[in-house]
Structure 1
Amino acid sequence: MSPPIKFLFLSLLLTSTIVHEVNSQLPPPQPNQTTLVLYLQDVATGPNATVTPVIGIRGKEWSYNSFGTIFVVDDPVTISSSPLSTSVGRAQGTLTVASLDGANVNVMLSIVFTNLQYSGSSIEIQGVSRQRENYRELSVVSGTGKFRYARGFAVLETLSYDASTARSIIRLTITYAQS
């Protein structure tokens, strides 16, 4: 073999070996993977607020950007982005501003289903939400009822935010498999 062809052959061999090694370390695709797309209807002010701060660091403002502020959440979960669409449950839990610069929020959220198909079941979501990013990925760590042993990930995407009413619509895409 001529030197350039020998070099090309060795490069291809090395590249294919690296690709094989990387692929062999990835988990295999899940055959029983399911994806649910739901919408959180979030209201942060007024008498019908569904998310509110309950405690923070003494002497500091309690806000989404203030380290140490803890919020409770009870958002309606709907099947479409319209606040008037069919409700399938509630997103209930806590949000804790967990980074000194206020960029990250630790989320512990239960999606508690109330519709006929999944009534009494829940999906448990946990992780760090990088709240200044539109795409935020968290872990699905468990579930109950029809979601028992669920494992996967959840993506939160803010579809709209109205500062004058402090209302947000957040698309929640849950991808999970059950063992």
Structure 2
Amino acid sequence: MAAKFSVPIKIISFSILLFITINIVNGQAQPNQSTLVFYLQDVGKGPKATVSPVIGINGKVWSYNTFGTIFVVDDPVTLSPSPFSTLIGKAQGTITVTSQDGANVNIVLSIVFNDVQYAGSTLEIQGTSRQRDNLRELGVVSGTGRFRFARGFAVFETISYDPTSSESVIRLTVTLAIP
């Protein structure tokens, strides 16, 4: 007789446990969310270039519009749009032109902090950037130090560009959830 009731009791017990688990998860506080805003100082040519093509398809011009071109980046990261603003770190990584028409690039970028508050910490940003869009959103996939286990998104916005010197300032707004 006990065997007849064991299956329904197990199902009821499992259902109650599942219900309690769902309510506990839904009742928990959301992870800490933060929004950080800083600026990348990007220089595309000259002796102080911070972004440079390193390889591309033989016989083609290596540019942001040429499929297969790979760039390395080492941009200063500052607190304000001014290149003389407080330096808080570097944006280091690669940019690869991944679409045949040159509209999209794949970005793998580490924000390496050296300021007092976040020294030794990094944010890892990755994704496809639709470079002809004014706002370009990529994923924050990880972090270290103060940003360990960070997840979120980063919005890149070019706020100034000088075609003569190939210098630009890019606002980077990062929204993070840190458990």
TM-score bracket, normalised by the shorter chain, equals 0.7 to 0.9
Shift of 1:29: 9.3
Structure with higher Rg: it is 2
After superposition, the Cα gap between the structure-2 partners of 1:104 and 1:29, relative to the gap in structure 1 and judged at 3 Å, is farther
1:158 is matched with which residue? Answer: 158
Shift of 1:134: 1.0
Q: Deviations over 1:7-36 (max 9, x none)?
A: xxxxxxxxxxxxxxxxxxxxx994511000
1:70-89 maps to which residues of 2 (within 5 A)? 70-89=70-89
CA distance in 1, matches of 2:96, 2:29: 33
- Residue 99 in 1 paired to residue 102 in 2? no
CA distance in 2, matches of 1:35, 1:45: 31
Q: Deviations over 1:97-153 (max 9, x none)?
A: 000000000000000000011000000000000001110000000000000000000
2:134 is matched with which residue? Answer: 134
Question: How many pairs were matched up?
Answer: 152
2:25 is matched with which residue? Answer: none
Amino acid at match of 1:107: I
Shift of 1:66: 0.1
TM-score, with length taken from structure 1: 0.83
Alignment partner of 1:82: what SS? coil
CA RMSD of aligned residues (A): 1.3
Q: Deviations over 1:45-96 (max 9, x none)?
A: 0000000000001111100000000000000000000000000000000000
After superposition, the Cα gap between the structure-2 partners of 1:29 and 1:175, relative to the gap in structure 1 and judged at 3 Å, is farther
2:47 is matched with which residue? Answer: 47
- Mark the runs of 5 or more structure 2 residues left unpaired by the alignment: 1-27
1:9-88 maps to which residues of 2 (within 5 A)? 30-88=30-88
Q: Return structure 1 stretches of 4+ with deviation > 6 angstroms.
A: none
Percentage of matched positions with identical amino acids: 70
